[in-house]
Structure 1
Amino acid sequence: MLFGKRKAKVKRILIVEDEPLVAFDNETMIGEAGYTVVATVDRASEALAILDRELQVRDDDEEHGVDLVLTDIALTGDRNGVDLAREASARGVPVLFATGNPPDGADRAALGHLLKPYNDRTLKAALKAVDRHLSGEKVKAPDGLVLY
């Protein structure tokens, strides 16, 4: 399809954040950008339960599934965002860390990180870049985003 619009890879996002205000802001910004927020939770265990539920549905069902997990590193409970990223990646779901301080080895668990603090414009640019990256395009990451 010449001059056609590329089909987005990222439509449905799971937000995992333990700071209520940041979680609310993420949910609002992501929704306003046209993405579907699957859920917003603060624990890795909750996020994994949602992933398992959403991934049980057929692949061609656009009303279910998770295309990207946006997670902080520090989470409520005994498991952190790196633990979540490893398990989500094993399920075939890409992960983007949203953190002020990415840990060593983060590149083995996620596709990149978005440095906190960020604003609406930065988050939207990062999500677009991640979508293009997942489509196989060579991407110049916007300020604040590091792709591994």
Structure 2
Amino acid sequence: MLFSRFTRSIQTILIVEDEPLVAFDNELRVVDAGYRVAATVDTEAEAIAVLEREAIDLVLADINLSRGGSGIEVARVASGRNIPVLYATGACPNQAQQYAIGCLIKPYSAVELVKAIEAVDRLIRGKTPKTMPKALNLYSPAG
């Protein structure tokens, strides 16, 4: 095939989100875009357990989680395992940029979510993102 799509670095995503409707919508959108969702969880402990047992290519994490948990702690653990993290939250955390590749600010559309994941994928592969959603803030090219 002359015009084939690129091979994605991101295949499997862990969704960490405490708002059920947002979690469901995120899962639906990334699956529709051809990604596999390893799990959708709403607590820090569940997210860390998934990171320990699954091969994850990207963590999509809210900051404030159920039971007082923190997406920043999830990002710290993921970062220690060289798993890129994209925060998906209402306000990007300045104090935790070292643990993530970027932040997608809520509310975002389904198109913005998929384009943000594609932009992160391109960065992981050492390429410049083709399109950048307005709601996406990138922290560094390497994460």
Same fold (TM over 0.5): yes
The CA RMSD over aligned residues, in Å, is 1.5
Q: Distance in 1 between matches of 2:69 and 2:79?
A: 16
1:81-100 equivalences in 2 (<5 Å): 81-100=71-90
TM value normalised by structure 2? 0.90
Instruction: Determine the structure 2 residue equivalent to 1:30.
Output: 30
Q: Distance in 1 between matches of 2:74 and 2:6?
A: 30
TM value normalised by structure 1? 0.87
* C-alpha distance after superposition, 1:58-94 (max 9, x if no partner): xxxxxxx110000100001233011110111101111
Aligned pair count reads: 137
Q: Distance in 1 between matches of 2:95 and 2:3?
A: 40
- Is 1:18 the counterpart of 2:21 in the alignment? no
**Which of 99, 124, 129 does residue 134 from structure 1 map onto?**
124
Q: 1:119 deviation in Å? A: 0.9
Which runs of 5 or more residues in structure 2 are unaligned? none
Q: Distance in 1 between matches of 2:79 and 2:6?
A: 24
Q: Distance in 2 between matches of 1:5 and 1:17?
A: 30
Q: Is the 8 A contact 1:16 1:41 kept in 2?
A: yes
Secondary structure of 1:75 counterpart: coil
Secondary structure of 1:114 counterpart: strand
- Is 1:67 the counterpart of 2:57 in the alignment? yes
- Percent of matched pairs sharing the same residue: 50
Q: Is the 8 A contact 1:141 1:147 kept in 2?
A: no
